[in-house]
Amino acid sequence: MSSNADALALPQTILNGFGLLAVFVAVIALGAERIRRVREYDKGHETTKQALVGCFSNKPVSALGSLMGRHAPVLKVPSIAGLIETADRGLWTSTTLDHMPEIHPELTWVPLYESVFDDLVPILPQLPDSWKTSYSTARVFDKLKSTRTHLKHRSVFADSRRHLLQDGDLVKSVRRLPGTAKSSKDQGKGLARVKATWLVGKKPCIPVTREEFVALSLMMGMPITKSHDGHYSGIGAYGLSIDLAHTEAIWKLSLVKGSRIPRHAPSMGSGYTSLMAKHLACGSIPFAESADWIRSVYVTDEVLTAVKNGLCIMDTRAYGGPSLEFLRRLPGDKAVDAYYGLAKEHENHETGSILDAGAKPVGEWARLVAGIAFGGLVPQADQNVIEAVRFTVGGNVDGCVQNLEYLVDALHSGSPEGKNIFGERVAERTEAKGHIYVNYNYPSSDKNPRDAASTFARYTNLLEHVVARSEKPLVSNTALPSRAFADDGTDLESGLKLPTANDDTQTAKGTAINDPVSDQPSDHVFESTVALLDATYRAAVKNRKIQAEGEKWWHLQPDQRTTLSPEEHKLVKEDLGDSLEIIREALSYGNKIPLEHASIIVRCILAAWADTVPQIDVMEHVPVRTDPSGFGSGAGMISMDAFPSVMALS
């Protein structure tokens, strides 16, 4: 009896085991199905996939959490306005775009954001606490600091540039404006300006306003055209392009960076700032800043005429114009305080003075123009700005563009073997010289931002190498060569007072910008350039007056005639290409470049920029240009209100 029971026990046990196993498998299957369904309906689950969202991926919800019905949090990232505010402070420049990898992922905003954040990692201690301690940004910085393998492509350029800076082959020459660099408000600005992403087709997209879209387009040197089917598109600098189309009941914005032809290859310079890209496109030239304001000269037709006549520009409360209102609508770190009034001719001020509302000097025209070379060589600009710079710089620009490229090649050839100070493109064309035809002229008869951006990036690269090799002035405690200063730093000629360490015109680190005792190489070259441009500007004003007098000049008394000195005549008629050729022939590896030569090179860079930069027109209400054939052959155009009020950057 017991033997029969024992015989039945074993099969019964096996059956019970299979039953328990079946129950266990069923529970597992039900749990897995529960997890699958929870994640399927979890709108934030896609944001946990690092392959899709990169460094911005959310922490995945555990299986137990999904079983309990928990969802991933909504992904929050800094807005485009926040990125622009960060760029306005010079924390990242167009070089970030230049060194960005090609964009072919599902989410086109991820490479852009990763590139910006990656450039901020080395200066993380300098960022405001509110920018780096929030969950939305802290986790990104932690990921970038722990591994950079996915950014290897751009790290090659960043590492090469860092070594050139450390070795003294380049000196960063993007200058902050004189005045208080530190903003009075950091909370809720910059990287602290976060937005929740939208899910469009289960993909996290960044909501973008029309103002943010336009600011990003200007930063990328990108005029926008409208096709006959209602789509908007733009082709800009560094291989970047934008497509804006209405699909799935929403305006979807895509950013693409494709391959680049050899002459558009990346350079090693600092590029230009978003502040300059916005202002110069809108006809405004910044010259100073305070805790809350960017002060600029808005170059209206009347201001341009006043500049050519040597009159003073002053602050005014009158309506400026549509492009100024356009500028004020764009996102920025500080508000715009534009100067576009005209001082009375009889007021006793120096030629080119910029005056506040009380007629006190607050800036100089030559200093304002010189600043464009130090972070403002943008790939598109307003026509009045271009004309004002061309007039100020003066000289004959024929041969200037070609000789600038010859100078770049000469400096590369004289550098130690293996050092690509100007990037791979210059190294390759220098090796090819004498074997195949190398075109040193502006590479296109059709002015467009693509060619302009690569050319001007090389000019900035050239400037930074020239600064690195420039000699110190004989007298290092004068901020303006050939000028006399009082003990308090006041220019005895113009009445301008230079900022000192005790003034309220200090950088965020507490060092006065344009300090009279500054020993920075870029300051020496900048001030030498200011002195040269002041001389060229005064000579140009005199020459214009002589031309205006015309035949009357011969009937005036000798003491009433406007005349040019031999030096002024040389500045007006100087062949800039020949000047560059003389400088190139005087180069000797290992020797310093005289400040006089350095300032001439900067003058030639500005002349070449003004001669070749494409024109852009910006308006608030004018319809967008609908004829794509006009792109490049004339002025590009961007109209604010022609774009949708909000769109999704995928």
Residues 165 and 171: their CA atoms lie apart, in Å, by 6
Distances (CA, A) of 363 to 295, 461, 478: 10, 27, 17
Q: Which residues pair with 200 in a beta bridge?
A: 203
Q: Is the pLDDT of residue 478 over 70?
A: no
SS3 state at 235: strand
Q: To the nearest whole number, what is the mean pLDDT of the chain?
A: 80
What angle in degrees, to the nearest 10, is found between the helix axes of 595-612 and 383-393? Answer: 150
Highest-scoring range by mean pLDDT, 181-185, 355-359, 386-390: 386-390
Q: What is the pLDDT of residue 505?
A: 33
Average pLDDT over residues 92-121: 86
SS3 state at 354: strand
Q: Is the pLDDT of residue 564 over 50?
A: yes
Residues 466 and 440: their CA atoms lie apart, in Å, by 20
Q: DSSP for 331-342, please give it.
A: --SSEEEEEEEE
Residue pair 110/56 in contact (Cβ under 8 Å)? The answer is: yes
Average pLDDT over residues 372-399: 95
DSSP state of 648: E
What count of other Cβ atoms lies within 10 Å of the Cβ of residue 601?
Answer: 27
Residues 480 and 530: their CA atoms lie apart, in Å, by 7
Cβ within 8 Å of residue 25, ≥6 positions away: none
* Region of poorest pLDDT, from 229-233, 435-439, 587-591: 435-439
Residues 352 and 340: their CA atoms lie apart, in Å, by 13
pLDDT tier for residue 493 given thresholds of 50, 70 and 90: very low
Q: What is the pLDDT of residue 8?
A: 66
Q: Is the pLDDT of residue 423 over 70?
A: yes
Residue pair 94/105 in contact (Cβ under 8 Å)? The answer is: no
Overall pTM surpassing 0.95 (yes/no): no
pLDDT tens, 205-263?
Answer: 999 999 999 999 999 998 888 888 888 988 889 989 999 999 878 999 999 888 888 88
The letter for the amino acid at 508 is A
Q: What is the pLDDT of residue 517?
A: 41
pLDDT tens, 280-312?
Answer: 999 999 999 998 999 999 999 999 999 999 999
Residue in 91, 110, 272 with CA at minimum distance from that of residue 191: 91
